[in-house]
């Protein structure tokens, strides 16, 4: 569905080679649908978080330091980008 409308269709028609096609098509589709007040997906989109400040990849340096020594810190390092480790 995401490939057949809006930006997704334009990307397919242009033959753009995407690094992560599934994510790219889905994200452009959802952004388009979010602006559409009559979208079938509106109830779902309205319930999504407005931000992801509590998601560890977005923690500040200070917040990351607060986790030092905890079991969570070690497990978290396996999933964070290298600049956090």
Answer for the pair 33, 7: CB distance below 8 angstroms, yes or no.
Answer: no
Percent of the chain scoring above 90 in pLDDT:
14
On the question of pLDDT at 18 being above 80, the answer is no
pLDDT digits (tens, 9 = 90+) for 44-84: 999 998 888 888 777 888 888 888 888 887 777 777 666 55
DSSP secondary structure code for residue 48 in this structure: S
3-state secondary structure of 72: helix
Separation between Cα atoms, residue 64 and residue 70, nearest integer Å: 11
The owner of tokens 């979208």 is 39
**All structural domains of the chain with their residue ranges:** 6-47, 52-85
* C-alpha–C-alpha distance, residues 18 and 12, integer Å: 10
Whole-structure pTM value: 0.54
């Amino acid at each position: 569905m995401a490939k057949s409308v809006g930006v997704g269709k334009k990307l397919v028609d242009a033959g753009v080679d995407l690094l992560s096609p599934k994510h790219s098509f889905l994200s452009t589709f959802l952004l388009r649908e979010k602006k559409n007040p009559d979208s079938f997906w509106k109830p779902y989109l309205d319930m999504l978080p407005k931000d992801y400040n509590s998601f560890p990849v977005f923690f500040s340096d200070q917040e990351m330091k607060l986790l030092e020594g905890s079991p969570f810190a070690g497990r978290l390092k396996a999933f964070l980008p290298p600049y956090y480790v």
